[in-house]
């Protein structure tokens, strides 16, 4: 009801307008964090909305700079340079609605999901049903779909990872989704190995002394808390105590996604090097302890005991 009344109010206020597009430059603000001194994009793109009287009523601007120029030591809640830019434009154009490219991102994600869902339903899934007897075709089609949606996400201003995830979700409705997931497992494991290798190769050992103790404390707390919490939750759902305890022990370690998020946050300046290495080391310590706990106590293909060694 609330949304409908607002939509009707918005529709009643619609009037003719003129769109104008332009560019400008803002030198000296951008830095290439992947390659210091490398190329940067200093172009500011803007779109203005003018009413019939020529008055500017809206401004949309985009600039290739993350809102993190205040650095990770800043602990204040701030809109960063984007908020400052909005205030400047709003002071120069009283009454105008000003938004950065974050407004476009709000639209880009639903647009990506909707477009991918439509293509999957009317194009991808019919192709899979037509040629599902050719396993190589399904494999290559899946790879192409994943890369295509990932690239579409990048064009819309989102990350390749988000696009790949959306592409996978849209294929979950396919009757061959289990076969696809099983076929891609070797490829997934291959790139996962490369990810961990690159992560280890880039680890600065001189940082180890600074984060070893807090990482050990964090890892210990997670191992002591996470496993019992999962175990209790499973018991409340009706699982047997022994099974609940085993699953809790297997889930006690920190997730591999912790490593991925820590690296991405560090690269984008959301957290500092110390915080990133703290998360990475704590995660690796939980891997080490949890692996030994599982191998020595529960059935696994690499168990040391013949009694526990199972495929």
On whether residue 188 sits in a domain, the answer given is no
Domain that holds residue 288: 198-297
Span 253-275, pLDDT tens digits: 888 888 888 887 877 677 888 88
Domain edge (last residue) among 31, 66, 100: 100
- What's residue 1's pLDDT? 47
- What's residue 2's pLDDT? 45
- What's residue 106's pLDDT? 64
Whole-Å CA distances, 115 to 137, 153, 162: 23, 11, 14
Span 41-93, pLDDT tens digits: 888 888 888 888 888 888 888 888 777 777 666 666 667 777 788 888 888 88
Torsion, Cα of 226, 230, 233, 238 (10° steps)? -160
Domain edge (last residue) among 82, 100, 118: 100
| Token pair for 131 | 């040629």
Span 219-235, pLDDT tens digits: 999 999 999 999 999 99
Q: Does the structure show a pLDDT above 90 at 186?
A: no
Tell whether pTM > 0.85: no
Number of domains in the chain: 3
Domain edge (last residue) among 183, 216, 251: 183
151 and 63 within one domain: no
108 and 83 within one domain: no
Do 125 and 174 touch, CB atoms closer than 8 A? Answer: yes
On whether residue 193 sits in a domain, the answer given is no
133 and 87 within one domain: no
Q: What span, in angstroms and rounded, lies between the C-alpha atoms of 252 and 116?
A: 35
Do 46 and 59 touch, CB atoms closer than 8 A? Answer: yes
147 and 211 within one domain: no
9 and 68 within one domain: yes
- What's residue 9's pLDDT? 60
On whether residue 303 sits in a domain, the answer given is no
Q: Does the structure show a pLDDT above 60 at 3?
A: no
- What's residue 78's pLDDT? 67
145 and 62 within one domain: no
On whether residue 309 sits in a domain, the answer given is no
Q: What span, in angstroms and rounded, lies between the C-alpha atoms of 285 and 291?
A: 10
250 and 270 within one domain: yes
| Token pair for 305 | 């005991």
Round the average pLDDT of the chain to a whole number and report it. Answer: 81
5 three-class SS = helix
Do 234 and 298 touch, CB atoms closer than 8 A? Answer: no
Span 138-161, pLDDT tens digits: 888 888 998 999 898 887 777 788
Q: Does the structure show a pLDDT above 90 at 213?
A: yes
């Amino acid at each position: 009801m609330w949304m409908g009344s607002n939509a009707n109010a918005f529709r009643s206020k619609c009037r003719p307008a003129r769109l104008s597009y332009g560019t400008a430059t803002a030198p000296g603000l951008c830095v290439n964090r992947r390659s210091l001194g490398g190329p940067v994009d200093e172009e500011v793109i803007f779109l203005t909305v003018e009413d019939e009287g020529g008055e500017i009523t809206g401004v949309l601007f985009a600039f290739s700079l993350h809102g993190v120029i205040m650095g990770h030591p800043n602990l204040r809640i701030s809109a960063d340079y984007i908020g400052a830019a909005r205030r400047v434009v709003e002071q120069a154009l009283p009454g105008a609605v000003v938004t950065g490219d974050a407004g476009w991102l709000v639209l880009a994600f639903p647009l990506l999901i909707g477009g991918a869902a439509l293509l999957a339903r009317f194009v991808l899934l019919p192709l899979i049903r037509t040629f599902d007897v050719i396993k190589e075709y399904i494999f290559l089609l899946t790879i192409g779909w994943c890369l295509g949606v990932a690239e579409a996400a990048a064009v819309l201003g989102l990350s390749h990872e988000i696009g790949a995830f959306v592409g996978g979700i849209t294929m979950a409705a396919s009757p061959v989704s289990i076969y696809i997931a099983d076929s891609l497992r070797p490829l997934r494991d291959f790139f996962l190995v490369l990810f961990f290798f690159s992560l280890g190769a880039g680890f600065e050992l001189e940082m180890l002394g600074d984060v070893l103790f807090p990482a050990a404390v964090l890892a210990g707390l997670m191992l002591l808390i996470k496993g019992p919490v999962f175990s209790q939750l499973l018991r409340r759902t009706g699982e047997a105590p022994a099974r609940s305890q085993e699953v809790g022990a297997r889930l006690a370690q920190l997730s591999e996604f912790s490593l991925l998020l820590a690296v991405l946050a560090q690269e984008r300046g959301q957290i500092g090097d110390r915080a990133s290495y703290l998360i990475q080391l704590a995660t690796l310590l939980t891997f080490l302890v949890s692996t030994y706990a599982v191998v020595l106590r529960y059935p696994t293909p690499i168990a040391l005991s013949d009694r526990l060694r199972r495929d």
